[in-house]
Structure 1
Amino acid sequence: MQAVTFQDKEKMVVKEVEDPKISEGHDMIVRITASGICGSDLHLYKGGIPLDQDYVVGHEPMGIVEETGPDVKNLQKGDRVVIPFNVSCGTCFFCKNQMESQCDESNPHTEMGGLFGFSDMFGNYPGGQAQYLRVPYADQTSFKVPEDSELEDESVLFLSDVIPTSWWSVEPVKQGDTVVVLGCGPIGLMTQKLAWLKGAERVIAVDQVQHRLDHAKRTNNVETYDFSENEEMGDLLNENTKGGADIVIDCVGMDGTVPPSVEFGSEGENQFGTISPLVTASKAVRKFGTVQVTGVYGTEANNFPLGDFFARNVSLKMGQAPVVHMMPKLYDMVANNRFDPTDIITHSMSLEDAPKAYDIFDKKEEGNIKAILKP
């Protein structure tokens, strides 16, 4: 089959690889009909997370069931399924308590749960930017789209990651809250949209890419701030919200921009990327407020603003979203037109065009916000 493979830093190549096969009774094989490129994939693309050469990437897939193992009970050939980025067994303590992202059985290598397309460190599950995908724990690690659904792939694909991750991000939001969202990529934009649904009274978006800020204002009716215009963005947000936002949601992570006045990368640094968004969040949140960390951080960090968080009674919430249990409710919200998840799509491309899709996503060219690949 054809698949998107990692070859080297900033080099993804579509090439022929071995077809996946059922290796456990609970496996299924899915023929992929659509797959998204995620900001987290750029961590692989940029070399921030080590990958072996030829590793198949991608963790936002959906498609049609082609084959099932003997232990799969709830799915059959021909079913249309969305595959969450978490791999989860369904039977351990964490899976039974809606914490599927920390499944105890899906990753034999570390205590972290398994993820598709993210190397041995996350369970060694080759990803879904390919023609076919092996899905373990198939009954658990999937959402079956209702047979009578009239929704196109574009409307349900993001149940794999973007929508539930954004819903997880706005979990702390209460009626009347002021919410600041750092980042206007796919997750940031969806988070802004869902913050309104959770009852936010004011939603503020921060980014430094003009077409993303324009998109946020146009589609989500938010206030926008350009991070590149003010190095002290956290202080500015605190002032303009009269003491800080109730919730600050970091949808940037370690890809954030390092302010010019901050020294970074000197000998002794023990982090990849930056914690600049966390520093901004610490200044922008009110006393007794909440900082939700959705953007990915992969290492320990120097100069973490722990003292500021402690002194001001700020609550921190973070981690990979546990996706599976959210998917039915979120599907119903999409099916009932509570919100439109498709307005973040700017590029729909063939699998063969994946290298170009990665390049324009990384460079933020051609007005790119979200690209989906169709084998």
Structure 2
Amino acid sequence: MRAVTFQGKEKIDVRNMPDPTIQEPTDAIIRVTSTAICGSDLHLYHHGNLVLEDDYIIGHEPMGIVEEVGPGVKNLKVGDRIVVPFNVSCGDCHYCTHDMESMCDHSNKNPETDYGGLFGFGKLNGDYPGGQAEFLRVPYADQNSFKIEDDSIPDEKVLFLSDVLPTAYWSVEHAGVKEGDTVIVLGSGPIGIMAQKFAKLKGAKRVIAVDHVKHRLEHSAKQVGIETFNFDEVDMPSLALKDLTNGGADVVIDCVGMDGKVSKIEKVTNKISAQRGTTRPIEMAGVAVKKFGTIMLTGVYLTPASNFPINNLFSRNITLKMGQCPVPHLMPKLYDMVMKEEIDPTDIITHIMPLEQAATAYDIFDKKSDNSIKIVLKPD
């Protein structure tokens, strides 16, 4: 099969790889019909050598048609159309049965880690090759699938049940956004835009999108209908945000993570410390949030932080929340919201490209060029 593979820093290539096979009775094999590039994939694009070997298949936002099922699969049959969550979870452990599937006890056997498996993130994260490929093995298939019964629904309308929608929704819920709040969302990429939408749905009085990519801020202003803030246009953006919100926001949601804009100092410290990327979003959030406010870290941080502002957060009684969204239990609710047109996930799609053009697609997405926001890849 053809698949998108990691080949070192900022190098990916579509190569011929072995077709996946049934390895466990509870496995299924799907023919991927749509998959997408996520901001988390850019962390691998830049720093994948920390967790990946060359030739590893990446991607964690797939959907497709069931081609084969193992003898232990009870709820799926050949021909079913499913969306696959980015978490890999067993469905039976304490965490899975208490809506904490991202911390599954059984899906990640790596002794160096203590959290659940992830598609496309290498041996450290359970060793599950990713979904940017023609075919995908889905372990614990009954648990890690959401059936789309209506064939008339286009992939693009439900594909983001795999990650974007639940991650954005859970970020807002986990942060405790409530009616009347002022919410700052760092980043107007796919997750950020959806988090902005969900914050509005929760009744936030003000939602402010923060970014420095103009076309993404314009999208937030036009499609979400919120305030925008370009941090490149002011000298001290953190303090400017604090002033703009009259002492700070109730909630700041960081949808950027370690691959935000790296400062000059960090470019030096990254060479002599364990940190990679930046902690500037955390530092900005720590100033822009009000006293007794909440910061939610949604963007991925793969390495230790050299300049984590623990003193500032402690001194101002800030609540800090973070982590990987537990996706499976959220998929039915979000599917209903999409079908009822309470939320539209499709307006973030700017590019639909063949899987074979993945290298070009990654370059576009990484550079935020061609007015890109979200890129969907089609294996066919």
TM-score when normalising by structure 2: 0.96
Match of 2:39 in 1: 39
Measure how far apart 1:204 and its partner are. 0.1
Q: Distance in 2 between matches of 1:57 and 1:96?
A: 28
Match of 1:159 in 2: 161
Give the counterpart letter for 1:251 in structure 2: C
Matches within 5 A, 1:47-62: 47-48=47-48, 49-62=50-63
Match of 1:96 in 2: 97
Q: Distance in 1 between matches of 2:144 and 2:267?
A: 43
**Total equivalences in the alignment:** 374
Match of 1:252 in 2: 256
The answer to whether the aligner puts 1:197 opposite 2:201 as a matched pair is: yes
Match of 2:355 in 1: 351
Match of 2:186 in 1: 182
Contact 2:14–2:356 (Cα < 8 Å) also in 1? yes
Measure how far apart 1:41 and its partner are. 0.7
Matches within 5 A, 1:1-375: 1-48=1-48, 49-109=50-110, 110-145=113-148, 147-148=149-150, 150-171=152-173, 172-259=176-263, 264-265=268-269, 268-375=272-379
Q: Distance in 2 between matches of 1:260 and 1:108?
A: 39
Measure how far apart 1:182 and its partner are. 0.3
Cα distance per residue 1:327-367 (max 9 Å; x no partner): 00000000000011000000001111111100111111111
Contact 1:6–1:45 (Cα < 8 Å) also in 2? yes
Measure how far apart 1:150 and its partner are. 3.4
Give the counterpart letter for 1:167 in structure 2: Y
- Distance change in 2, residues 1:369/1:91 (3 Å): same
Give the SS at the match of 1:155: helix
Contact 2:172–2:199 (Cα < 8 Å) also in 1? yes
Give the counterpart letter for 2:22 in structure 1: I
Cα distance per residue 1:204-258 (max 9 Å; x no partner): 0000111111111111111111111224211111111111100000001111223
Q: Distance in 2 between matches of 1:103 and 1:157?
A: 23
Cα distance per residue 1:74-111 (max 9 Å; x no partner): 11111110000000000111101111001110011121
Give the counterpart letter for 1:44 in structure 2: L
Identity of aligned residues (%): 60
TM-score when normalising by structure 1: 0.97
Q: Which ranges in structure 1 are unaligned for 5 or more consecutive residues? A: none
Q: Which ranges in structure 2 are unaligned for 5 or more consecutive residues? A: none
- Distance change in 2, residues 1:276/1:116 (3 Å): same
Contact 1:258–1:264 (Cα < 8 Å) also in 2? no
Give the counterpart letter for 1:133 in structure 2: L
Spell out structure 1 runs of 4+ moving beyond 3 A: 258-264
Give the counterpart letter for 1:204 in structure 2: I
Measure how far apart 1:15 and its partner are. 1.3
Range with bigger deviation, 84-93 or 220-229: 220-229
